[in-house]
Structure 1
Amino acid sequence: MARSSDRPNFSALAKSIRSFQDADQTIIGQIPTIALTPVSDGRRGAYEDNTVKTWGMVEKVYDLLTNNVFQPDGKPIRVVVAPEIVYGARSAARAQAYYATQGVSANIWIGRSWSYSDELMGAMMGVGSSEWQQCAYGLNQTDRPGAVWLKAFTAAMDEKKHPIFCVYSPDLEDEDGPLSDFVAGKLMRFSRCAAAVAFMRGKNYLSVGGVSMGIIGSDVRRNTMMNYLGMGTVSVDMSILTGRMQSKFYDHEEVAKGVKFLKQFKMAMTNKPAQRRNGLSDDELIETCIKMTTIVRDLMIGNPKLADAAYGKKYGFTADVEYAQGTNAIAAGTQGQRQWTDYNPNFDVTESLLNSSFDWNGFTGSRVVATENDSKNGVGMLIANLLTGGVPQLFADIRTNWTPASIKKATGVNVDKVCPRGIIDKRNSGAGALDYALDIFAIAGLDPAKASVQDAWKAICASPKLQKELIKKAIAGTTYMNAALTYFPGDGLSSHFTTPGNVPMTAYRYNMVGDLLTCSVVEGETVNLPAKVSNHISKVTDATWPETYWAPRDMTSYEYMSKIGPNHDANSFGLIGADFITFNAMLRIPVDMHNVPANDIFRPTMWDRFAGDDYRACAFLGPIYA
């Protein structure tokens, strides 16, 4: 029977009036928390002999993760440590009881010596659950055989169908020195991916509208989101935008700031109001695009002003607590074409600003909004955003494959030395994140050959000066241009920029094959084309859209175009293919195409029992949340 002090005051609750409740997080949900669980031989003497150095290993791992692995808002992931070294069933139970109060969703076992891996540690009896991501790091030393415990433990986990990642240095380690680059890299990769898995769970994908022009990617698969990703889905009709604009139910102060902000950009207004099916003036077009942007943002994350009766009275709308809540959406998609864009401005301003790291409020951090409600691209953008610590993502059409021969035939220019394997022209209606108008490695002052994209983004997030430089250069490099009325009778404003060349960039795509979710991920680099070539490509495609010329590594552009699934892919600064492979293994999503070097692939030991066959291992385990 519950104690009286635990019993809620139901009478008070019944009389309470609902309101918009503030939260510490923009998107409410679990904060990624990784547990570090030290283990040791429990025998008298052996335990005491290992204590100091075991805790020394834990301290190194703790410092590594808290200093190098970040959430998309720039904050470090949360790391907790077991209250004591685990050496038996009761000490394991103590750790589990503590972890249950801390919201742990992943665990790294750390050991330098033999431990009783299955019977005494209680690995399958208490510590963790079937949804936790598990990793084990065993010391490679001769005096203390960490490998013996490690292999015994991973074998036990495999037998019990609990996948576990195994970290073991190929070379002998120096316990008195820092973690080796090999060990540190594996631990950070595991933690980045496990944090992404935890961050997504329980949050929503917001579908604004439905299927766009028959594109299968915009058919939002609710069960797939739930079973594979642990995410919910919320769908709203496109009429919610016209309804909110007509009833003035939007944040008027934000709209005013947004209009002023957008007018800072270079504008190419070539369409006349009379040509637009809706007859909007240029100023009305800009204002409508900003209204749409604020409404989609508020649908995703909510806005307390919309629940404020005084604010509503001031601006002529009726406050509504329910509508003010938003949908707690970590990602969204907008249908746009055709029914909406036949009469209204397109979503290019909305998508370009929400996907960027900044807006009229400064450096705000990026969101994820998929063009044409392509949810399969949207979830990929979300995953890449999480894996990189918040780097904005680029939604693109796989517009055209250009070989060196076809470029020379069209322009007379020989590009064999510039792009010997050809390029993919990635552009998409002006909806791309504006950060791709520049090179974030150059902004951060880092060499992409020596620094990761996480390093570059960490430097930018930590420096208001670099953030201001990024915003200034992105605005200077972008022109908003009227849309092509043949496609968009309601017009719109498409962002035009050219992504700099020689920037490492990873392309990726999630695909549905029946009810099976798969992933493609290919690393490459952006390309600087001669002006005559890029001008020709723009002219014969659409010069109003942002352009990114990209070459995959170790394959031709035609091979990429012919093997990738649909007409859309998404892209991230940096080479993050190995992180994608690890992440997909955690959620049992097979990778159908990649060009990641074999020595960078990090999957659970169970995959070795299936001869490395990703499809068989994922099929054997099934989706983690099903």
Structure 2
Amino acid sequence: MSASLLSHEIKENTSKAVIGVFAPCDPRIDDNSRKRCKNLVKQVAGSLSGAIKFPDGSAVQLVYSDILVDLEPQADLVAKQFLQAGVNVLVCIPDTWSFPQLTTISLLSHFPKDIPVNFTTGNSATRPGVVYTHATNGAIAQYGKLSHINIGSWPDKGQNPKLSKETLESLIDWCYGAATFQGLKGRRVVVFGHDSMGMETALPHVMETRNRFGIEITRLDMKLLADMLQKETYDKEELKKLKSWLFSHAKDRVELPEENDEELLEKSLALYLIVRDLMKELDAVGGGFMSQLEWGSDARGIQLPVADIMESLFNSTFDHNGEKEVMPFATEADVQGLLTQLFMTWLSGGNPPLFMDFRKVYGKADVSELVKKHKYKVGENDKWLEKGFVDGVNSGSASFNWASVPCDSEKEIMKNISFPKAVDYFYYLGNSVHFKSPGGIKGIAARLSFSSLSGMFSILWDEAETIELPEEIATEICEGANPTWPHTFVVPKYATMTEYKQYAPANHLHMTWNLKPTRLQYWMDFTNVLSLTPWQSRPQFIEGEDRPLPLVYLLNGGEERTKIKLAGK
């Protein structure tokens, strides 16, 4: 038998998440109930189709089988169908009782142990699919595999039952967690420069990141970028287009007082084109840029323009070519910050991340002092007065989108942004990005961290909301930190200001809007990342906000203990 040469083409779904929907059934069940099972599988697959999106706007692929998994032969057949289709996420829709080991457990034996599996069922007594769900989930938990159950609701009678809105929403959230987990395996991020200013909290833990998330970190020297800038290795016509686009939105707000300032601006814009093309060549899903110290603030070297505009463009949903995919990008080569942004962007379906310094925390005493100093008359909607806020500010990576509210147009966003000359450490080489984020943007603020003691990653997180301060108070705060950088004033939902100050795992914080806790929690289950919410006022479980704790955690002493045990295997 001779060897076969593979085609040079690959399937479209390769290296992406593919969800397979199926149903178990009892071979003794009547024909009408069996037809109902098939109809339900088709209906669930149709409801999920197009509902889970990757950051590039493409939908996660859905396949389903109308072969009911009655016994081992059907389990083997459906498993092989799914494997041929590239399925790496499983959704089981039980509507009747069946035999766990002969059905789903036999099907699971064909897949890697870490494949996400969800059991979504109605709470019915007629043909007790819920009984099957508990029996199968319990068996899976006993042999140490993670699975999630979604005990929802659909009509007990009728041939074409439809999931309730809440049941479907819960399943979609789970699918986002699973698609992010599987979709990022085998992908890479590109980081320019070495360790970020010696910050241990930003180091690229290459092997740990590879082993835990399946993500590769490609590291390139900044000399390559310097050389490509000097050689002008970029499309000069496209550079003109990019500059013209920027000026069309903000020419009167681009500060260029010195003779060579416009040339420096052009170099910083060219840097975006160079890095974009390099990342495309490497099929990267995110990036980072060291900058300090060698690039633009070490007087011993040749000073090069700041990368603030470049970083902001990557994190935005548009550029000079129109709408685009958000490409999570970290300033100061902060790899753990980059990964935080990457995971939350994928979990949200592509929403833009905000990279910021965890700068000054204004507690109650600080707020009272500001109010008194400015003789501010307190209003009803001043949320920042209740417990304080954080001034989130950094020189780079702030997505343009955060200059306005979600869903605003490019024009509305850009009119709120100015581009002052860079100051402080950067010797006036290029332009910064400045805006103040509006209030009322809700999401999750978080930060990934790593511990060599446990060999595990963790995420410190809380729900959060931006606030808008009175102009005179906001101006004082911006002037006190840096008036040329973006500022976002953030209030955590559960953390007190004392807790926030004490438990920050790094000097950078990241926020993504419209990201639900359940999606982050499901993803942390799949990746075995520790969930850190040390806030006294946050309950252990919040009905309607948190995902129910997987049974395998309960059987092994709790979530943290189980994850630590799994990490040690």
TM-score, with length taken from structure 2: 0.90
**Residue among 95, 115, 124 paired with 1:112:** 95
- Contact kept, 8 Å, 1:352 with 1:430, in 2: the verdict is yes
Distance 2:435 2:11 in 1: 36
Q: How many residues align?
A: 548
- Contact kept, 8 Å, 2:174 with 2:518, in 1: the verdict is no
Q: Equivalent residue for 2:320?
A: 360
Structure 1 segment 142-161 matched on structure 2, within 5 A: 142-161=125-144
Deviation at 1:363, TM superposition (A): 0.9
Distance 2:107 2:143 in 1: 8
1:292 aligns with 2:292: no
202 and 282 in structure 1: CA distance in 2 versus 1, 3 angstrom threshold? same
1:185 aligns with 2:169: yes
**Equivalent position amino acid for 1:495 in 2:** V
534 and 201 in structure 1: CA distance in 2 versus 1, 3 angstrom threshold? same
SS in 1 for 2:443: strand
Any gaps of 5 or more consecutive residues in structure 2? Answer: 298-302
Please say which of residues 329-338 and 81-90 is displaced more in the overlay: 81-90
Q: Equivalent residue for 2:145?
A: 162
- Contact kept, 8 Å, 1:395 with 1:432, in 2: the verdict is yes
Q: Equivalent residue for 2:236?
A: 252
22 and 368 in structure 1: CA distance in 2 versus 1, 3 angstrom threshold? farther
Deviation at 1:576, TM superposition (A): 2.2
127 and 135 in structure 1: CA distance in 2 versus 1, 3 angstrom threshold? farther
Q: Equivalent residue for 2:19?
A: 34
SS in 2 for 1:353: helix
Distance 2:173 2:19 in 1: 13
Deviation at 1:512, TM superposition (A): 0.9
SS in 1 for 2:349: coil
- Contact kept, 8 Å, 2:121 with 2:153, in 1: the verdict is no
- Contact kept, 8 Å, 2:76 with 2:107, in 1: the verdict is no
**Residue among 509, 513, 516 paired with 2:447:** 509
**Equivalent position amino acid for 1:439 in 2:** V
213 and 271 in structure 1: CA distance in 2 versus 1, 3 angstrom threshold? farther
Any gaps of 5 or more consecutive residues in structure 1? Answer: 10-20, 274-279, 303-326, 444-469
SS in 2 for 1:52: helix
Superposed CA deviations along residues 416-459 of structure 1, whole A, max 9, x for unmatched, are 85111101111111430000011115x3xxxxxxxxxxxxxxxx
Superposed CA deviations along residues 517-542 of structure 1, whole A, max 9, x for unmatched, are 10111102111111111111111111
**Equivalent position amino acid for 1:609 in 2:** L
Please say which of residues 592-601 and 494-503 is displaced more in the overlay: 592-601
SS in 1 for 2:219: strand
1:479 aligns with 2:445: no
1:615 aligns with 2:560: yes
**Residue among 478, 487, 502 paired with 1:538:** 478
Distance 1:170 1:520 in 2: 33
Q: Equivalent residue for 2:283?
A: 328
Superposed CA deviations along residues 476-531 of structure 1, whole A, max 9, x for unmatched, are 111011111x3112623111111111221310110011132101111021111111
SS in 1 for 2:419: strand
473 and 416 in structure 1: CA distance in 2 versus 1, 3 angstrom threshold? closer
Distance 1:520 1:34 in 2: 29
Q: Equivalent residue for 1:455?
A: none
SS in 2 for 1:520: strand
- Contact kept, 8 Å, 1:93 with 1:122, in 2: the verdict is no
174 and 347 in structure 1: CA distance in 2 versus 1, 3 angstrom threshold? farther
Distance 2:308 2:10 in 1: 30
Q: Equivalent residue for 2:399?
A: 433
Q: Equivalent residue for 1:323?
A: none
Deviation at 1:204, TM superposition (A): 0.5
Indicate the percent of aligned positions where both proteins have the same amino acid. Answer: 23
Distance 1:157 1:235 in 2: 40
Deviation at 1:246, TM superposition (A): 2.0
Structure 1 segment 512-527 matched on structure 2, within 5 A: 512-514=450-452, 515-527=455-467
522 and 41 in structure 1: CA distance in 2 versus 1, 3 angstrom threshold? same
**Residue among 123, 126, 139 paired with 2:106:** 123
**Equivalent position amino acid for 1:282 in 2:** D
- Contact kept, 8 Å, 1:268 with 1:482, in 2: the verdict is no
Distance 1:365 1:545 in 2: 24
- Contact kept, 8 Å, 1:92 with 1:127, in 2: the verdict is no
Distance 1:296 1:359 in 2: 14
SS in 1 for 2:47: helix
**Equivalent position amino acid for 2:555 in 1:** R
Superposed CA deviations along residues 95-154 of structure 1, whole A, max 9, x for unmatched, are 111111211110011111111111354536644321311111233111111122111101
Q: Equivalent residue for 2:551?
A: 605
- Contact kept, 8 Å, 1:268 with 1:479, in 2: the verdict is yes
Superposed CA deviations along residues 382-419 of structure 1, whole A, max 9, x for unmatched, are 11111111111111111111124313324333658511
Deviation at 1:581, TM superposition (A): 1.1
Distance 1:393 1:173 in 2: 43
Superposed CA deviations along residues 66-108 of structure 1, whole A, max 9, x for unmatched, are 1422121222211101251111111111111111121111001
1:407 aligns with 2:385: no
Distance 2:251 2:10 in 1: 37
**Residue among 503, 516, 527 paired with 1:563:** 503
Distance 1:414 1:128 in 2: 63
Q: Equivalent residue for 1:312?
A: none
Q: Equivalent residue for 1:589?
A: 529
Superposed CA deviations along residues 182-215 of structure 1, whole A, max 9, x for unmatched, are 3212211111111111221101021110112221
**Equivalent position amino acid for 2:406 in 1:** I
Distance 2:6 2:533 in 1: 54
**Equivalent position amino acid for 1:239 in 2:** K
Q: Equivalent residue for 1:211?
A: 195
**Equivalent position amino acid for 1:434 in 2:** F
- Contact kept, 8 Å, 1:502 with 1:526, in 2: the verdict is yes
Q: Equivalent residue for 2:309?
A: 349
1:86 aligns with 2:32: no
SS in 2 for 1:558: helix
SS in 2 for 1:366: coil
SS in 2 for 1:496: coil
Distance 1:22 1:344 in 2: 42
Deviation at 1:177, TM superposition (A): 5.2
Structure 1 segment 130-149 matched on structure 2, within 5 A: 130-149=113-132
